[in-house]
A and B are shown apart, each in its own frame.
Chain A
Amino acid sequence: MQPILEVTHLSHSFGGLKALTDLSLEIFPGELVGLIGPNGAGKTTVFNLITGVFRISQGRIFFRSENISDWRSHRITAAGIARTFQNIRLFKELSVLDNVRLGAFGQHRYSLLDALRRSRRFTAAEQQVTNQAFALLERFNLTHYAHTPARHLAYGEQRRIEMARALISRPQLLLLDEPAAGMNQSEIEDLIQRVRQIQQDFDLTILLIEHQMRVVVNLCQRLTVLDFGQTIASGTPQEIQRHPKVLEAYLGKDGGLGQEAPEPAEETP
């Protein structure tokens, strides 16, 4: 089978600081893969490279066998890679509906002139996008807030808007950046259920960033572990949990149990 996403020998540095060294990664259709590691390990950098936020200087990225390494973000997203953000990034003044409809920007099929003339094609396309958006809003229990500015909604709801915005473009690959950030244990259980459900319903391949082991161990089929930009291990969750290097990265050499990794400020989109 052809991988849906193939990353080869990807490296990146900020100024003199190496944020990512020689990452190679293959993801196959239908997989749910986790990219884990302590804060500052370079996980978000990987997402930013895949989605074209940072220019790629070393290495290549293929999406469905196509080299997307020098594409700009909007093209990559329109081609079928959607993502969410670690710290929610909604269009705050815009209504929830507009936020979600914007996710379909790459799909819209009318010209500027159509819009200015309010042509039939415009009306039909707008109605179609609106219908899709409402279907998603309903799925995520947001219908009630369709016309409310996004900033008025609570944190959990905003996370769901982001998800809806990512899904409306019918992506093949979904990148989730720490979807469990700021959630308590029961919310995390919900989230795990929801991610599974979405993957099934939308026929998705998912790459997920997380630094909390317990989230990914339950969810992912395969894991890749980064530490200081280096790939230190990859394999099934069971293999990873026993991997000595992973234990060291997460727990330190002395093994302070239950500790999260130290938190150097990571560059976050």
Chain B
Amino acid sequence: MLRQKGFLIWSGAALILALAWGLPASGALNPYVIQILMYVGINMILTLSLNLVNGYMGEFSVGHAGFMGIGAYVASVLTVAVLPPAWAAPAFPAVLVCGGAAAALAGLLVAYPSFRTRGDYLAIVTLAFNMIVKSVLENISWLGGPRGYLGMPRLTTLFWVAAWVILTLLVLRNLVYSNFGRGITAIREDEVAANLTSVDTRRLKLYAFLISAFFAGVAGGLYAHLLQFINPRSFSILKSTDMLVMVYLGGVGSLTGSLLGATIFTVLLELLRPLGIWRWVVGPLMLVLLMIYRPQGVMGFKEARLFKPKLPTPGGGSPGPPAPAASPLRGQ
């Protein structure tokens, strides 16, 4: 059973990657659709990343666009100003990793205050972080200041987007269904009790913010090399709000929900394009109605079977070392 599911997942991933490689090249898809697919993918990475902090850990980050922005700028500077043009394409994955790493470093800045405060106050801290990132970017003239930064080669392809979506999904799934993931969820449920059941909440918060910020940074790099132009306003609190909508639309604490939320939101905004400015009224309205009528989102705390590991059962597998003297097994 486990084997089968593993096989299903891996062959599915391979198929998606092959399609992502082949379809654009074959010319069977029109470029507009490919473009939308890439946006969907980037938004999936962002949503998964934010869901780790907001959904699984139950903290409240409203500044994730800050991480995205850092990743976008770092990756862009690397391909535009640092690397020789010929190297940019082959080094693209490494460039994205650098962007993600820079964002992860910034993630530390937010993780530390989260040791001491949570709830509203942490929300304000993340918000301030977002604003500061934007303001700093606006004041660095060699990054173009408020006018923005351009000249990036269009390196983001459907293949790379798909590959990163799969990697993000894999990492988050393996994290969530592990001791670390259980601990992160325990922080959401009851932080004090988590500490008192030997969960090192600080270390877990650090991990969660690092991983979450990393993938948001990668998504920023992908975004920058798709649009080929970024400015500080692309990473304002508005962008963070979009991510929140996707998380809470799809479902908190759910990988399936993240994919769903990103897809619905991106496609819906595209479909509403003819409405012009009015489509930006629809998004917030949706958010408010969602909060009132289905605050956990479509898939809140639920997961598609595909992503869930087999239910753990006793016995089987390797028995592990023999239980010590005071083993709970002795009581019967």
Interface residues of chain A, those whose CB is within 8 Å of chain B, are 51-53, 72-75, 77-78, 82-83, 85, 89-94, 97-98, 101-108, 110, 112, 115-118, 122-132, 134-136, 138-139, 147, 165-170, 197-198, 201-203, 269
Candidates A53, A103, A123, A131; contact of B197 at CB < 8 Å: A103
Contact indicator per residue, chain B 225-237, by CB within 8 Å of chain A (1) or not (0) = 0000000000000
Residue of A nearest to B6 (CB): A118
CA distance A132 to B319 in the complex (A): 10
Pairs A–B under 8 Å by Cβ, sample size 8: A51-B196, A112-B175, A115-B180, A126-B179, A126-B312, A131-B320, A135-B327, A167-B328
Is B195 touching A123 in the complex (CB atoms < 8 A)?
Answer: no
Contact indicator per residue, chain B 194-212, by CB within 8 Å of chain A (1) or not (0) = 1111111110000100000
Is B198 touching A53 in the complex (CB atoms < 8 A)?
Answer: no
Interface residues of chain B, those whose CB is within 8 Å of chain A, are 171, 174-175, 178-183, 185-186, 188-190, 192-202, 207, 253, 301, 311-321, 323-332
CA distance A169 to B196 in the complex (A): 11
CA distance A103 to B325 in the complex (A): 18
Is A124 touching B175 in the complex (CB atoms < 8 A)?
Answer: no
Is A73 touching B180 in the complex (CB atoms < 8 A)?
Answer: no
CA distance A82 to B195 in the complex (A): 11
Is A83 touching B332 in the complex (CB atoms < 8 A)?
Answer: no
Is B318 touching A136 in the complex (CB atoms < 8 A)?
Answer: no
Is A125 touching B320 in the complex (CB atoms < 8 A)?
Answer: yes
Is B200 touching A91 in the complex (CB atoms < 8 A)?
Answer: no
Is B190 touching A115 in the complex (CB atoms < 8 A)?
Answer: no
4 cross-chain pairs, A with B, having the tightest CB-CB distances, nearest first:
A106-B198, A128-B320, A134-B314, A115-B178
Candidates A101, A135, A202; contact of B326 at CB < 8 Å: A202
Is A102 touching B315 in the complex (CB atoms < 8 A)?
Answer: no
B320 / chain A contacts, CB cutoff of 8 Å: 124-125, 127-128, 131
CA distance A85 to B197 in the complex (A): 11
A-B contact count (CB 8 A): 156
Is A98 touching B198 in the complex (CB atoms < 8 A)?
Answer: no
A135 / chain B contacts, CB cutoff of 8 Å: 314, 327-329
B321 / chain A contacts, CB cutoff of 8 Å: 128
B179 / chain A contacts, CB cutoff of 8 Å: 101, 105, 108, 110, 115, 125-126, 129
Minimal beta-carbon separation of A159 from chain B (angstroms): 14
CA distance A85 to B192 in the complex (A): 11
CA distance A203 to B198 in the complex (A): 20
Is B319 touching A197 in the complex (CB atoms < 8 A)?
Answer: no
Residue of B nearest to A128 (CB): B320
Residue of A nearest to B325 (CB): A203
CA distance A147 to B310 in the complex (A): 12
A201 / chain B contacts, CB cutoff of 8 Å: 330-331
Minimal beta-carbon separation of B59 from chain A (angstroms): 15
Minimal beta-carbon separation of B141 from chain A (angstroms): 39
Minimal beta-carbon separation of A197 from chain B (angstroms): 7
Is A78 touching B332 in the complex (CB atoms < 8 A)?
Answer: no
B314 / chain A contacts, CB cutoff of 8 Å: 130-131, 134-135
Candidates A75, A112, A197; contact of B331 at CB < 8 Å: A197
Residue of B nearest to A137 (CB): B314
CA distance A166 to B328 in the complex (A): 11
**Known A91-B194, A97-B312, A108-B179; 20 more pairs at CB < 8 Å:** A53-B196, A73-B192, A74-B195, A89-B190, A91-B190, A93-B185, A93-B189, A98-B182, A101-B182, A102-B199, A112-B207, A115-B181, A126-B312, A127-B316, A135-B328, A135-B329, A138-B332, A139-B332, A170-B327, A203-B326
Among B171, B301, B326, B331, the most chain A Cβ lie within 10 Å of the Cβ of B331
Minimal beta-carbon separation of A200 from chain B (angstroms): 9
CA distance A74 to B323 in the complex (A): 23
Residue of B nearest to A85 (CB): B193
B171 / chain A contacts, CB cutoff of 8 Å: 116
B328 / chain A contacts, CB cutoff of 8 Å: 132, 135-136, 139, 167-168, 170, 202
CA distance A15 to B312 in the complex (A): 47
CA distance A55 to B179 in the complex (A): 27
CA distance A236 to B34 in the complex (A): 79
Given A53-B192, A91-B185, does the pair A130, B312 have CB atoms closer than 8 Å? yes
Is B326 touching A170 in the complex (CB atoms < 8 A)?
Answer: yes
CA distance A221 to B186 in the complex (A): 36
